[in-house]
Amino acid sequence: MTANFPVLKVQNLSRVYPSGDGQVQALVPFSHTFAPGLTAVVGPSGSGKSTLLNLLAGFETPTTGQVEVGGTNLTTLGEAARADFRLAHYGFVFQNHNLVGILSALENVEFPLALAGHSPKERRARARELLALVGLEGRASHLPGQLSGGEAQRVAIARALAGNPSVLLADEPTGNLDTRTGERVLALLQEAASAGRTVVLITHDRDVAAQANHHLNVRDGVVSLGEQGSLVR
Ligand SMILES: Nc1ncnc2c1ncn2[C@@H]1O[C@H](COP(=O)(O)OP(=O)(O)OP(=O)(O)O)[C@@H](O)[C@H]1O
């Protein structure tokens, strides 16, 4: 069953970085409404994919334009309000998964729920449920260093889903994984997308891109709507 999650929309979004005496136009202004489902962002190295993801997350400030989720303009929120907004609406799955090394798998999944003010009992129950969803109920007490790469990535997905986010941003989440584990991680992201979330995934993998519902090509900072894999290296 799909839920109605708030829509992710960008208007006239661009980013210029200073570079030596000059400037790099990392992202040329573009407008787009992300449809619910899985969007693959593809393009050559240095084309602007990470810049786009960082802007969508509000980690970077746009040079022009804005990012909106459910009509709220992320760009004009102050730092603290933006952090709260992110906690409520976003989940992140990055390749180095950013798990907290001294916390167990279960505690890592609980972490965003603790920040969001859920009671210990409530967050433990939800974290257990999510670890089971990603097939890791047997690894709850493992530290990240005691998990395989694929297991750690699945913990990262469980953590990203903990706050029931509208928007899930993933940067090469299958990049380090063997084919079978990568497929499992992708299936979890697809499941999150088919529930009605907007999942935006950067990938260099043609097979991963082929499984997305929507495609954005980025080349020299220019974003275009693309057929699957047309610009994947
Ligand atoms: N903080 C920064 N300062 C200056 N230039 C930057 C900065 N971050 C990125 N760039 C430049 O902006 C362009 C886009 O970089 P970006 O990291 O978005 O590319 P990418 O498509 O994600 O590349 P890759 O696939 O290699 O990760 C590149 O030319 C890069 O050198």
Q: Atom 2, ligand 1: which residue's CA is nearest? A: 17
Please, is 109 exposed, middle or buried when counting C-beta atoms within 10 Å of its C-beta (0-12, 13-18, 19+)? buried
Determine if ligand 1 sits within 6 Å of the CB of residue 49.
yes
| Distance of CA 14 from the midpoint of ligand 1 (Å) | 13
User: Could you say which DSSP state residue 146 is in?
Assistant: G
| Distance of CA 230 from the midpoint of ligand 1 (Å) | 21
Mind listing the pLDDT tens digit for each residue in 15-71? 999 988 899 999 999 999 999 999 999 999 999 999 999 999 999 999 999 999 999
Architecture of domain 8-225: 3-Layer(aba) Sandwich (3.40)
Whether the pLDDT of residue 155 is over 70: the answer is yes
Q: Atom 17, ligand 1: which residue's CA is nearest? A: 50
Predicted local confidence at residue 57, as pLDDT: 93
From CA 135, how far away is CA 210, in angstroms rounded? 25
Please, is 222 exposed, middle or buried when counting C-beta atoms within 10 Å of its C-beta (0-12, 13-18, 19+)? middle
| Distance of CA 24 from the midpoint of ligand 1 (Å) | 9
Tell me how far CA of residue 78 lies from CA of 39, 75, 83, 195, in angstroms.
28, 8, 9, 30
| Distance of CA 26 from the midpoint of ligand 1 (Å) | 6
Predicted local confidence at residue 144, as pLDDT: 93
* Best of 45, 47, 54 for a ligand 1 pocket test (most atoms within 8 Å of beta carbon): 47
| Average pLDDT over the chain, rounded to an integer | 90
Whether the pLDDT of residue 233 is over 70: the answer is no
Determine if ligand 1 sits within 6 Å of the CB of residue 50.
yes
Q: Which atom of ligand 1 is nearest to the CA of 51?
A: 18
Determine if ligand 1 sits within 6 Å of the CB of residue 203.
no
Of the chain, the percentage scoring pLDDT greater than 90 comes to 68
For residue 179, the one-letter residue type is T
Determine if ligand 1 sits within 6 Å of the CB of residue 14.
no
From CA 45, how far away is CA 48, in angstroms rounded? 8
Average pLDDT (98-114) is 93
Determine if ligand 1 sits within 6 Å of the CB of residue 45.
yes
Average pLDDT (98-125) is 92
User: 226: pLDDT confidence band, cut at 50, 70 and 90?
Assistant: confident
Determine if ligand 1 sits within 6 Å of the CB of residue 15.
no
Residue with tokens 């798998």: 105
Predicted local confidence at residue 97, as pLDDT: 60
Of the chain, the percentage scoring pLDDT greater than 70 comes to 95
Q: Atom 24, ligand 1: which residue's CA is nearest? A: 45
Predicted local confidence at residue 1, as pLDDT: 57
Determine if ligand 1 sits within 6 Å of the CB of residue 17.
yes
